[in-house]
Amino acid sequence: MNLQIAKVAGFCMGVRRAMSMALDAAQKAEPPVFTYGPLIHNPSALMLLEARGVHVLEKIPDHGHGTVIIRAHGVCPDDKARILKAGFKVLDATCPRVIKVQMLARHYAGRGLQVLLVGDRGHPEVLGIMGYAGAQGTLIANDEDLRLFLSGPDPGPYILLAQTTQDQERFARWSRQILDRFPGGKVFNTICNSTHKRQAEVKRLASETDAVVVVGGKQSANTHRLAEIVVECGKTSIPVETEDDLDREVLANFRNVGITAGASTPNWVINRIVREIQSLPGAHEPVWYKFMYRLVRFLHETNLLTALAGGVLAWASAFILEARDSAASFLSFSPSVPAAFCYIYAMHTLNRLIDRKAGEFNDPLRAKFMARHRMVFVLTSLAAMSCSMLLAWVIGMPSFILLVLLSLFGVLYAMPILPGRHSPNSLRNLPGSKTLFVSLAWAAVCVLAVPDKWPSEIRLDQWMVFFLVGTLVYLRTALLEVLDVQGDRIVGRETLAVLIGEKRVVRFVTIMAWGEVVASIFSWATGLLPARGLILAIPSLYMIWLSKRFLRGRIGQNLRLESLVEGSFFLLLIPLFFAVSAALCHLFG
């Protein structure tokens, strides 16, 4: 089936900030750590926080110790004062946009104006805002509340506010009715821009699809509203909380399906549902499409796609560095190509088997697949590592020693070797280390293992290719880290995407990719590399294009993006294909 994912889906800014603060508090704040009430309205996220030692405080005790996190919805000022009086340290994770509404309510209530609030009765955000309005506050939650207010006496000077997750059209309609009946009031449209974009996006999805899967907690007000909008558009709404709620028989009847999610829905839950729907056999899909999808998914889940990408990169490196121009040199693989393929397959597979926790959030279907066939992956990884060692021995002693050192480093990378409870106890947990170490390892096995006389002869062209290839792998790994940012943050890993944010990483990739293009051209222009060295600029240009599409929201965070990123290296085969064709034409006249 044709699957469309909403450009605005998952954690909004306020929820993302609250989750980040809670996950940081689990590691650094004075224990025990609590949230006053559920941090957000999503059971999966709450179960995760509970597992990390962040508990829910339902009632404020007279005395206590530790840290209490104020949830994204905020609380009334009296509750916050009671928490402090009880002896807790307070970490305020209230969404900045909610704080704005609270401050407006307090300011105008203090000046004696009536504070009218359009919101959902009993919602935590509404309770907090009404606490700031005090006796001057009036809640309008439904049509009956509106009718009673309009038929009542003149409230005098007033302001009109909105719960940040309210429906834009309903607030506009009720505002007009209130102003018509009681002119002179001041209206503040305090609906979050993210909410407005999310609702506009779901209308677009409903207009272009047959059904829309709405992912979110059953207690989430903004998720309920998204489902209502789908129904109002005349399309089928399929609300789900997790992938277990999917009705696969119903979904199989639709040709075009959209997916949206509430503001408190984690990306890892959306990814699980996307992967589950993608794995369903669509009733209207052609056989070739089903075959291609299953093939790509199989290559992805078995890490063969990553290993093939590494093999292509090793082939391109050998193609650039080897001076021979005969047809045979183009058609024959260097031993470094299968050596790189085997090494990359073995190390990536073993690391994923060890790093199961992050995998369960970042790529749940692959994690399940690898867990189900764990022994097969262990045996094939060991066989691939042995094969890479044998091939390195064939290449020469320096290459063999290099691969042994890289293998030892790969094992040390995941092992806890550094002391300290809060310090990064392994190389893998050093901030930003994954991107750097992966790029260095790939570049070493793809470039330095090429048959040559190193290290007795230092060839500048080889080290230049090492730099260019390492940069390409750095770009690839950084983009893939954007997909894994929530899972990495959950398990406490400070990758580049966690440290500086997803959008900054994508922009950084764009800048580095342009630098790679310039460096490739400079190497050719100065004679450091032959003209065929320019092929390394092709994946860089492709990643620039991919980064721009990602920033514009035209590519979702799913299997498609992962395949597109890994597939960047396969573009290196295009000039190799033309080179082989030209050589064959020359050979056979």
Q: Are 513 and 547 in contact (CB under 8 A)?
A: yes
On the question of pLDDT at 499 being above 90, the answer is no
On the question of pLDDT at 274 being above 60, the answer is yes
Chain-centroid distance of CA 97 in Å reads: 23
**So what's the pLDDT on residue 587?**
64
CATH 3.40.980.10 fits 9-95, yes or no: no
Check residue 532 and report its DSSP letter.
Answer: G
On the question of pLDDT at 456 being above 60, the answer is no
Q: What is the mean pLDDT of residues 128-137?
A: 94
More confident call, 422 vs 376: 376
What are the residues whose beta carbons fall under 8 Å from the beta carbon of 243, sequence distance 6 or more?
269, 272, 273, 275, 276
State the maximum Cα–Cα separation within the chain, in Å, rounded to a whole number: 98
Q: Take residue 149 and report the two structure tokens written for it.
A: 């207010």
Q: What is the mean pLDDT of residues 327-336?
A: 55
What are the residues whose beta carbons fall under 8 Å from the beta carbon of 81, sequence distance 6 or more?
none
- Going from N- to C-terminal start, the domains of the chain cover 9-95, 98-191, 206-284, 294-588
Confidence label for 576 from pLDDT (cuts 50, 70 and 90): low
Q: Are 372 and 280 in contact (CB under 8 A)?
A: no
**So what's the pLDDT on residue 491?**
59
On the question of pLDDT at 86 being above 80, the answer is yes
125 is annotated as an active-site residue: yes
Confidence label for 37 from pLDDT (cuts 50, 70 and 90): confident
Question: Which CATH number does 98-191 carry?
Answer: 3.40.1010.20
Confidence label for 328 from pLDDT (cuts 50, 70 and 90): very low
**So what's the pLDDT on residue 329?**
45
**So what's the pLDDT on residue 48?**
79
Q: What is the pLDDT of residues 195-223, one digit of tens each?
A: 788 888 889 888 989 899 999 888 787 78
What are the residues whose beta carbons fall under 8 Å from the beta carbon of 12, sequence distance 6 or more?
95, 192, 194, 195, 198, 263, 264
On the question of pLDDT at 6 being above 90, the answer is no
Q: What is the mean pLDDT of residues 109-128?
A: 93
Q: What is the mean pLDDT of residues 477-499?
A: 71
Q: What is the pLDDT of residues 341-379, one digit of tens each?
A: 999 999 889 888 877 776 666 677 788 888 899 999 999
Rounded Cα gap, residues 229 and 223, in angstroms: 10
Q: Are 128 and 72 in contact (CB under 8 A)?
A: no
* Architecture in CATH for domain 294-588: Orthogonal Bundle (1.10)
Summary mean pLDDT of the chain: 83
Confidence label for 145 from pLDDT (cuts 50, 70 and 90): very high
Fold match flag (98-191 vs 206-284): yes
Q: What is the mean pLDDT of residues 326-336?
A: 53
DSSP string, 84-121: HHHT-EEEE---HHHHHHHHHHHHHHHTT-EEEEE--T
**Number of C-beta neighbours around residue 473 at 10 A:** 24
Calculate what percentage of the chain has a pLDDT beyond 90.
Answer: 34
Calculate what percentage of the chain has a pLDDT beyond 70.
Answer: 85
What do you get for the CA distance between the two ends of the chain, in Å?
49
On the question of pLDDT at 498 being above 80, the answer is no
What are the residues whose beta carbons fall under 8 Å from the beta carbon of 549, sequence distance 6 or more?
555
Selected catalytic residue, list 30, 58, 125, 232: 125
**So what's the pLDDT on residue 510?**
92
Q: What is the mean pLDDT of residues 250-270?
A: 83
Confidence label for 99 from pLDDT (cuts 50, 70 and 90): very high
On the question of pLDDT at 1 being above 70, the answer is no
**So what's the pLDDT on residue 330?**
44
Domain 206-284 classification at class level: alpha beta
On the question of pLDDT at 554 being above 60, the answer is no
**So what's the pLDDT on residue 486?**
61
Residue 239: beta bridge partners? 214
**Number of C-beta neighbours around residue 312 at 10 A:** 23
On the question of pLDDT at 83 being above 50, the answer is yes
Q: What is the mean pLDDT of residues 279-305?
A: 78
**Core vs surface per residue 227-238: b (16+ CB within 10 A) or e:** bebbeebebbbb
Rounded Cα gap, residues 472 and 475, in angstroms: 5
Q: What is the mean pLDDT of residues 1-25?
A: 81
Q: Take residue 252 and report the two structure tokens written for it.
A: 């199989």
More confident call, 333 vs 110: 110
Confidence label for 503 from pLDDT (cuts 50, 70 and 90): confident
Q: What is the mean pLDDT of residues 525-530?
A: 90
What are the residues whose beta carbons fall under 8 Å from the beta carbon of 140, sequence distance 6 or more?
116, 117, 118, 119, 146, 149, 174
